[in-house]
Structure 1
């Protein structure tokens, strides 16, 4: 389908006139054909109204029917609304009349030619951002010799403190391609500075990753928009380098936001200076910006936004190049590389490039095992954040003073190196500063100051806990974990050389590709079909297609996602409603009872199995008043993070490749994953070996600690099976696993669920 598309544009604030109007020089748009959410819109409203979540594509006239056919297969509403014309004019027609008819040459001028005078304001040297502490209180404490107070104050600052409760609201593992999770280390507490993801490929494998980071300091930009833009570029580069990227491959995109312009020449100072700074950095580094977006409307009455130019750096690499930021090994040394600046605090571009290139080479040689790009808050914040992930400690060198710990470090890099590798720095004449040593004891030490890592963590995590909570319950009481071992595992009587898996796709499903790849890697054939519901005939045809697909399959897999948006009746309602259809119910029953088939449901799919009754009953019976169910997480929001689960039964064919009693790590991403059931049901499930997995800590300890039992599930239950084990439902996404995925997470990720399911039929 993608090969048919010649051009593509997303709809935004400009609506039809912009999204379609940008696709070709000559266009004739029929506004009457544009799909509408609301009746009564006139031509002007149709032309310029914001219409998110839509795309406009250009296809060859001969491919229109084929494209519309593919869209229908995917249950997408697609309509031909415009024609590309030879004459370079944009024509919008509504109700038989041309309401817009403009020359492309005029549109390309962006309207009337304008000029203005600019008065550039020079930053005040007395307020030089590079010669003072970024946080005034931290500076006062540091200068007074209160290193402990300064460090804890720094970690508590809004621009330094943990945002984990906010970050966890967004799915960070979809696509099974996230090389770095947002927080890494065994305890998932070292925040990453760059997005790194494998290049998505529909078939085959790839070792290519894309990287993206950003740089911006509003306080620096408020002092000097020129310096602010330069160091936005530098900071975005430094983060890429710290994660293993090659600076020379970087391309930028800038996001700009400034106060509203007037006829006052001084009002133009900020964007003019910022753009000059960004231009200077691009020329200095020889790296271009390939895109961007700007706004000049950041004023409300007499309130202006800070002068804002955010630099996003984009790079490509191999996943073997990637360096994760959490500290690795006690005894390793912590080294700081500082960038050179001129008398005006402008980076010495050639020297910066030489440094970043040297660091990249050291990373290629595995001489650097973790790294962090510093910002204006200095080295102290980076040292703590790097230590949190694996709960290691740091002892700062005796000759490192308070100013070095807390002074501006924009563009500098802090790296962890094995002690024996330090000789490379001397051999290659790379200037460096030895900052400290990694310790096994979880303590931050600087001179006579000692801060227990737990105290530092408390300072770092408390500030936003009431706004973006990470836990709703304080309880951490242990939970009984009863292992069930049996030799009586269900044996398939209908063997096949290569089983077929049917994956139904509903509006809102988003894990079908990950699930299909997991089964294909395991040796199965996979059939996915989309349930179409745009008309009554679509629904009838979909039931027929699903019935036929189930009849030809050995396994049915309900994938994750948000079927029908999970509103208003809760999760997986679309799945459950469709499979209550008599024909589909009969097809599933035959699969399980006559052909020894298997069923698997993950996340939204687990919710579907629960609603249908396939777990815990093994049949489509629906739910009873006392049936186990899945409800809202105790924290009452979506949670996306890696979870550890302990395997507590070997009864299920799905778990034959997993080790009973072992702990595995998989991503979770859900808002309604809390397993709830009466005590009688929980006891019955354990007694019958139907509790498949329980949430646990990395060591396999099961409890109600919400850090690990992330949704507050009763008895910490993460997955259950049907009575004979052939139907398995679980919340954590075992399908979101692949080579180099979640590299900064510790623990075995492969439960071998998919391999076990395939092997059952062989």
Structure 2
């Protein structure tokens, strides 16, 4: 299409062919746009609608199911902003609020791992900034193909370097996350990034363009060709069977963390000076999204002079300007009398800022370029997008998969075999020490990190005088969700909830990143619908709201989808971070106690996966009442100073939890088991934790456990330099450590 394709030209040339399919629109969607406008769209309008109606921006396939999450907010006493905002905002007391959100950058990170992951961090940071908060920490949840696969050697180091480069340059601590490997992610890694920000209650900002005559200011980096149609197009298309190597794909965005750092400080000073009426970050869909959402969220319309937009490439067409996903850009709505002060602060921080338009009263989004009008649309029609009720059906193969459980797999019985099984699991890439990754991140910058990886949850100090803090954890398990997406999602919610409680914090809110295959596949849509239903029911039961999140679809290579992988993030409030138990055994003579009930549950387990390469059966049962009781007990015990350590049980069961607690604390343990030792050691029953009790406080803790109705089994005592299981086996800590720390360096160098 020509750059001179104005609305006048479009109105007089209805027969002109347009590349709507190449932009990801269907024939029905294209016709709907023509019906809305009463003519064919201009090239710029077509570009704008195509990115705004993409899966990434419109949630057109998931919207009908996501509505089930909204009622979870009704029971919250903490929620200040929720679903629909750039990020959720939660009251944490003492006049403070935090905003947090997790999003995906999966497809760009496969195409160009370093920049794809780096700009994923940059984008989620700007989401938090747009709420009026100072970003204070990041986390990442990562999934790759087999650790020893050739392409994993390309993708994983690049992703890790991108995350560390951007986050470290911004001066944001990386306080936790996940790293998992599975063949289902071989051609489609998952790179989910979380950011959390801190604010006072009255700092909250909104993405709205209100006030007739108020000016629209674009500030930050200049607009270039990088990322034209990037995340919004990539996130709405599958890769071919070759992993997308031969496909024509848009360029991945390029990030500049030093400019983002200036942008953060500039925005915070603008907020402090009360110069901003509305604010929106520019991420996926760039100028198209920012202008549309600001205008749609306001009470009038918006006029934009596209000639005023600062460009790195003067040859960009209006469509390319709108679709560009150049990074480190924000858009603000400012009263005319405050524009000079706004621009002065931008100059102070060396941030380019330009008035590109103003708020109007006609209810339309109008854009001009070189003297002609190239966009004139009702903004709500682009912001809302189509809503699909795609067909969904339980996969035909699921019954057979659930029947083919792990019951017939050979189980180790003698001490030597049990010992070897523990070491094999501990040294597997998914359970081994992650320091090859996490040592590339700065977890301590800003000086408020209390706990970080490899602890169960990240913990940050908010108020030094009182000890007020926040905890965060993310969890996902594609194996569980393949076997039962409803139950599997609740298990992940429960695990993240439990991990937050292990720090001594009270879980109060949820964010989520829902990673699934093609919504055009009824089996995938069923998985997505069931996962959302499971999350909604689980949050209602636990009494915590879903504050927002992200849906990432088309995660598949050819016809093969990834495991359904909802990643659940939970935020907790800690009354005093000085009273927090770590995950490791640190006190000699501390009584070691197993909390919760162990059952024979191995469907989707790490043991079945690592030892037998088996996936089948049913995942562990979920008991959310038991999870709530366990969390309450651990928080109460931590508050009363009864615990030397607390560590939840998940992948690998008690055996892995004991090994990790020994390695993290530098002390051994001697335990006695009373039952089938294989089940006691490797079952993945949910709702369990292992704690060590401060010597002399055992009776108090026992009474507290009874008060909270949590089963408590004394296993033994922490001391020495071996992990000893009765007369069955023992492993010296140096041997445990060699197995644990050697895996990832041996693979990735």
Mark the runs of 5 or more structure 2 residues left unpaired by the alignment.
Answer: 1-268, 602-617
Q: Is contact 1:395–1:446 with CA below 8 Å preserved after alignment?
A: yes
2:441 is matched with: 170
Instruction: State the shift of 1:103 in Å.
Output: 1.2
- Superposed displacement of residue 445, structure 1: 4.0
**Residue in 1 that maps onto 2:554:** 297
What's the offset of the Cα at 1:393? 0.4
Q: Judging changes above 3 Å, is the alpha-carbon distance between structure 1 residues 38 and 198 closer, same or farther for their aligned structure 2 residues? A: farther
Query: SS of the counterpart of 1:281?
Result: helix
**Residues 2-41 of structure 1: matches in 2 within 5 Å?**
2-3=271-272, 4-25=275-296, 26-41=301-316
Checking the alignment, whether the CA contact within 8 Å between 2:502 and 2:648 is kept in structure 1 is yes
| Partner SS state of residue 179, structure 1 | strand
After superposition, what is the alpha-carbon deviation per residue over 1:22-75, rounded to whole angstroms, capped at 9, x for unaligned? Answer: 234332223222232333111001101112222223333322211211121112
Structure 1 residues 453 and 7: alpha-carbon distance in aligned structure 2, compared to 1, 3 A threshold: farther
Structure 1 residue corresponding to 2:341, chosen from 66, 70, 85: 66
SS of residue paired to 2:469 = strand
User: Match of 2:393, SS?
Assistant: coil
Q: Which residue, 563, 570, 573 being the options, matches 1:313?
A: 570
1:46 and 1:421 map into 2 onto residues whose CA distance is 65
Task: Decide whether the 8 Å contact of 1:166 with 1:468 is kept in 2.
Answer: no
Equivalents in 1 of 2:366, 2:282: separation in Å? 18
Which of these residues, 94, 116, 126, is aligned with residue 369 of structure 2?
A: 94
Aligned residue for 1:43? 318
1: CA distance between counterparts of 2:391 and 2:633?
44
Aligned to 1:423: 699
Aligned match for 1:261, one of 511, 519, 543: 519
Look at both structures and tell me which one has the larger radius of gyration over its CA atoms: 1
1:130 offset after TM fit, Å? 13
Q: Residues 245 and 321 of structure 1 are in contact (CA less than 8 Å); yes or no, is this contact kept in structure 2? A: no
Give CA-to-partner distance per residue, 1:672-712, whole Å, 9 cap, x none. xxxxxxxxxxxxxxxxxxxxxxxxxxxxxxxxxxxxxxxxx
RMSD over aligned Cα atoms: 2.9
Supply the distance in 2 between the matched residues of 1:92 and 1:212 (Cα, whole angstroms): 42
CA deviation after TM superposition for structure 1 residue 108, in Å:
4.3
**1:375 matches 2:646:** no
Are 2:523 and 1:272 equivalent residues in the alignment?
A: no
CA shift, 1:407, in A, is 0.8
- Higher RCO (C-alpha under 8 Å, 6+ residues apart): 2
Contact 1:340/1:352 (<8 A) preserved: no
More deviation, 337-346/253-262 = 337-346
Shift of the alpha carbon at 1:345? 5.4
TM-score after normalising by structure 1: 0.55
| Residue 334 (structure 1) aligned with residue 605 (structure 2) | no
Q: Residue 418 of structure 2 aligns with which residue?
A: 147
Distance 1:398 1:289, change over 3 A: closer
SS in 1 for 2:643: coil
Distance across 2 between alignment mates of 1:399 and 1:455:
26
SS of match in other structure, 1:404: helix
Change (3 A) 1:103 1:58: same
Q: How does 1:653-692 map to 2 (within 5 A)?
A: none
Provide the residue aligned with 1:365 in structure 2: 640
Call closer, same or farther: CA 1:322–1:57 in 2, change over 3 Å. Answer: farther
Give yes or no for contact 1:90–1:104 (8 Å, CA) kept in 2: yes
Q: The residue matched to 1:146 in structure 2 has which SS?
A: helix
Aligned residue among 480, 483, 492 for 1:223 = 483
The answer to whether the aligner puts 1:440 opposite 2:720 as a matched pair is yes
- Distance in 2 between residues matched to 1:37 and 1:177, nearest whole Å: 38
SS at the partner of 1:464?
helix
Distance 2:645 2:678 in 1: 23
Instruction: Return the alpha-carbon distance in structure 2 between the equivalents of residues 206 and 69 of structure 1.
Output: 37
Q: Which residue of 2 aligns with 1:404?
A: 680
**2:400 and 2:671 mapped to 1: Cα distance?**
31
For residues 281-338 of structure 1, the C-alpha deviation after alignment (integer angstroms, 9 at most, x for no partner) is 0111121110110122112212211111110001222323432222111111121222
Q: CA 1:392–1:252 in 2, change beyond 3 Å: closer, same or farther?
A: same
| CA distance, structure 1, for counterparts of residue 532 and residue 730 of structure 2 | 45
Q: Distance in 2 between matches of 1:176 and 1:130?
A: 50
Residue by residue over 1:169-189, the C-alpha shift from the partner in whole angstroms, topping out at 9 and shown as x without a partner, is 12222212212243xxxxxxx
Which residue of the partner structure matches residue 746 of structure 2?
466
Distance 1:123 1:420 in 2: 55
Counterparts of 1:436 and 1:110, CA distance in 2: 59
- Distance of aligned partners of 1:436 and 1:40 in 2 relative to their CA distance in 1, 3 Å threshold: farther
1:386 CA displacement: 1.4
CA contact (8 A) 1:198 1:206 kept: no
Matched residue SS, 1:211: strand
> In structure 2, what is the Cα distance between the partners aligned to 1:5 and 1:315?
30
2:420 is aligned with 1:157: no
* Paired residue secondary structure (1:165): helix
The ranges of structure 1 where at least 4 consecutive aligned residues each deviate by more than 6 angstroms after the TM superposition are 339-344
Per-residue deviation, 1:118 = 2.1
Q: How far apart are 1:424 and its partner, in Å? A: 3.0
8 Å contact from structure 1 (residues 245, 315) kept in 2: yes
CA contact (8 A) 2:512 2:566 kept: yes
For 2:655, what is the secondary structure of its paired residue? helix
Normalised TM-score (structure 2): 0.56
CA distance in 2, matches of 1:305, 1:118: 17
**Counterpart contact for 1:120–1:273, Cα < 8 Å:** no
Structure 1 residues 368 and 24, CA gap change in structure 2 (3 angstroms): farther
Contact 2:486–2:532 under 8 Å retained in 1 = yes
| CA shift for structure 1 position 274 | 0.8
Distance of aligned partners of 1:337 and 1:65 in 2 relative to their CA distance in 1, 3 Å threshold: same
Alpha carbons of structure 1 residues 6 and 180: separation in structure 2 relative to 1, 3 Å: farther
- Cα shift at 1:464: 0.7
In structure 1, distance between residues paired with 2:396 and 2:587: 47
**Measured at CA, do residues 457 and 100 of structure 1 come closer, stay the same or move farther in structure 2, by a change above 3 Å?**
same
Q: Cα distance 1:144–1:325, how it changes in 2: closer, same or farther (>3 A)?
A: closer
How big is the shift at 1:10? 2.4
Shift of 1:124: 5.2
Q: Of residues 210, 216, 220 in structure 1, which corresponds to 2:470?
A: 210
Given that 2:480 and 2:619 are in contact with CA atoms closer than 8 Å, whether structure 1 keeps it comes out as: no
CA contact (8 A) 1:215 1:235 kept: yes
Distance 2:388 2:723 in 1: 61
- 8 A contact 1:327–1:392 mirrored in 2: yes
Q: 1:336 to 1:282 in 2, by over 3 A?
A: same
Within 2, Cα distance between the matches of 1:128 and 1:289?
29
Distance, in Å, in 1 between the alignment partners of 2:466 and 2:404 is 43
Q: Does the residue aligned with 1:231 lie in a helix, a strand or coil?
A: helix
2:512–2:549 Cα contact (<8 Å) kept: yes
Q: Distance in 2 between matches of 1:326 and 1:416?
A: 9
